[in-house]
Structure 1
Amino acid sequence: MTRNEKRQYLSRYRFIDVEIKRLMEERDEWFARATRVTASYGGEARHKSSEGDRLGDIVAKLCELDKMIDERVDALVDLRLELEAHIEKLEDPLLRNLLALRYINGLTFEDIGERLFYSVRQVSNLHEKALDMFSLCEEKEIRVLTVKAV
């Protein structure tokens, strides 16, 4: 597994999190549409059935969005547990912390540097080392499984 593949693997959490936030914003917009009250000052009578249909369509959209959000949240929780399990296999607590801050908390190298009292360059170097060690954890796991199978 290359470093780039590892980055993509670890970045999945942030992508799902961003997608959930986008869906929640969309749901909020639809909710605002459903609760918006507009006054009719014209002399023409409005048809209640068309307003009811509109409201029903919006409620259906809200239900659909809620279902999508629930599915994404379930996937996010499962992925977080999976990533945490892989990150915990690293022996070095600094590298574990760095990967968790980067890929689970979504912090930038600058923010991580401030938290860990390192420069951005040091954080970047430690990140590369953590990705390399992440690979070693995988290989050790594969070797252990192979030995047990024999």
Structure 2
Amino acid sequence: MTAKEYLWRVRDAERELKRIEQEYKQAKADILHLKAIRYDTDKVTGGKTCDLSDAIATIEGYMERLNAQWDKLIVLRKEAKVLIERIADGRYRDVLTRRYLQGQSLEEIAVDLRYNYRWIKRLHGRALGEFEKLAPESPL
């Protein structure tokens, strides 16, 4: 695994978390639209009745997935941060932290640091090279 692939795991975990959060919000919104079951009408067989308990179970399932994804993201961020902090050059640490831990684009980093975009791309490449040198063999 390259340094870039290793660091992208953090960004991917964050995107997955946001996706699960969206699904969770949608499931909560769906609960608000559940209609009461009318027992005085004719019964239709073969259909599945979705009641509030099914919806609550679905919500709890999303909460478990959210908690697990948060735990995963926290561990990945912590591991990446420890490895990034081992880099001697502060510019490299700053670029990698902003790119992979804070989710900024290279364009945003260039604007924030008041550097030329091409220079940030070079710094990013050099920072990845340093990250690969300092990172232990096991995660990469």
TM-score by length of 1: 0.79
Greater percentage in helix: 1
| Further displaced range: 107-116 or 128-137 | 128-137
Provide the residue aligned with 2:102 in structure 1: 105
CA distance in 2, matches of 1:110, 1:18: 20
Deviations 1:17-70 (A, max 9, x none): 111111111111111111125599xxx7487xx998422111111100100010
* Aligned partner of 1:114 among 111, 115, 122: 111
Provide the residue aligned with 1:22 in structure 2: 19
SS at 1:91 equivalent: coil
Which of structure 1's runs of 4+ aligned residues deviate more than 4 A? 37-40, 50-53
Whichever of the two has the greater Rg, that structure is 1
- Between the two structures, name the one with larger relative contact order (CA 8 Å, sep ≥ 6): 2
SS at 1:118 equivalent: coil
Alignment of 1:86-101 (within 5 A): 86-101=83-98
* Aligned partner of 1:66 among 63, 67, 71: 63
Provide the residue aligned with 2:77 in structure 1: 80
CA distance in 2, matches of 1:46, 1:7: 61
CA distance in 2, matches of 1:39, 1:54: 8
* Match status 1:135 vs 2:132: yes
CA RMSD of aligned residues (A): 2.4
SS at 2:68 equivalent: helix
- Give the percent of matched residue pairs that are identical in Structure 1 and Structure 2: 28
Provide the residue aligned with 2:9 in structure 1: 12
Deviations 1:92-119 (A, max 9, x none): 1111000000001111110000111111
Deviations 1:82-141 (A, max 9, x none): 000000000011110000000011111100001111111000000111011112213xx6
CA distance in 1, matches of 2:133, 2:101: 20
TM-score by length of 2: 0.84
Provide the residue aligned with 1:36 in structure 2: 33
Provide the residue aligned with 1:56 in structure 2: 53
